Structure 1
Amino acid sequence: MSPIYVIGGLPGYTPEVGRLISMMNYARYTTLSAVQGLSVSELDELLDEKSNSIGALLMHFAAVDHIYRVETFEEREMTEEETAFWQPALNLGDEGRTVIKGHPLEYYLKLLEETRERTLEAFRKVDDEWLFREEPFWDGQPANRYFMWFHVFEDEINHRGQIRLQRKRLGRAAV
């Protein structure tokens, strides 16, 4: 990982890709800090009947990383197997509350690490032109891949706020 508070180029990546990855790295660093030391019961805890568990949110981060990699780099839809595994984490809500539980922190950390490593490998094979390529996105609106990958870590930062709130409610100060 690059120096955590420096947004800049990274060896093995084109300049803009390196800057994007620098931001992704910082978001992930703060996420990992926010969940350090949590037990299975703390990862499964729900604040109320509509909330998501911290474990489900961690799996959501890995799922979003996976689906954006599949769609932007591989330019395909998820397979039936991928959908069966990742859909509860993408949907969250009732499905996530039912399916995503009972795993230790190491399970989620491994998913996060494996999905991100595949993403970083894919980014090594593209250039800045690829990052700025536009295509239809939400509601058919044009977006470039830079925005799409910005959204990946923006979503993580947003949900990390939920994690920090839940951690406080558990009586566990953030590390």
Structure 2
Amino acid sequence: MQNMDNIYLITDIPGYTPQISRLLSMMNYARHTTLEAVKGLALEQLDELLDPQSNSIGALLLHFAAVEYAYQVVTFEKRELTEEELAEWGPALDLGDAGRANIKGHDLQFYLDKFEQVRTRTFDLFKTVDDEWLYRQEEFWYGKQGNHYFMWFHVFEDEINHRGQIRLIRKRLRS
């Protein structure tokens, strides 16, 4: 999946069309920097809340996997999440009170395993489409059109945004 020799190249990836390769290259780099930001964190650090309204690093990590999974369902399967899927992923998608109540008690490997599980499926799904698929438009946010390219850009753009939060939280951890 992630060729570390090419981590700083936005380039072709064997088995994928050119634009999908570039999108996946960017996703790989975003994930690489996320992994570097959380390396070595203990369970207590992953669960720590800076204040009663904040999200934990663990909740943010599970949020990344949940967003990616949700976009798999919406863009590839053309459906909404089921009740069962919402039970699993809902607290991580919504964060806030549900995330604070439900996302805790997991070590770093738990989150890394979720990342791997979801990302492997993403790479498998992208093998089934071509560059033309990226440009397909449908109604997205606020009644405006969005294409699959933008939707998948948002998956890793959201991760980059929240990774900034993770770095801030990590600097302020008490444990």
Q: TM-score, normalised by structure 2?
A: 0.96
Aligned to 1:159: 162
Q: How does 1:20-169 map to 2 (within 5 A)?
A: 20-169=23-172
Q: Matched residues in 1 for 2:82 and 2:96: separation?
A: 22
The alpha-carbon deviation at position 153 of structure 1 amounts to 0.1
The alpha-carbon deviation at position 171 of structure 1 amounts to 6.6
**Identical counterparts, % of pairs:** 65
Say if 2:51 is the partner of 1:10.
no
Superposed structure 1 runs of 4+ greater than 2 Å apart: none
Q: TM-score, normalised by structure 1?
A: 0.96
For structure 2, the 5+ residue unaligned runs are none
Q: Deviations over 1:37-61 (max 9, x none)?
A: 1111000001111110000000000
The alpha-carbon deviation at position 78 of structure 1 amounts to 1.1
Q: Matched residues in 2 for 1:64 and 1:130: separation?
A: 20
CA RMSD for the aligned pairs?
1.0
For structure 1, the 5+ residue unaligned runs are none
Aligned residues: 172
Match of 1:73, SS state, is helix
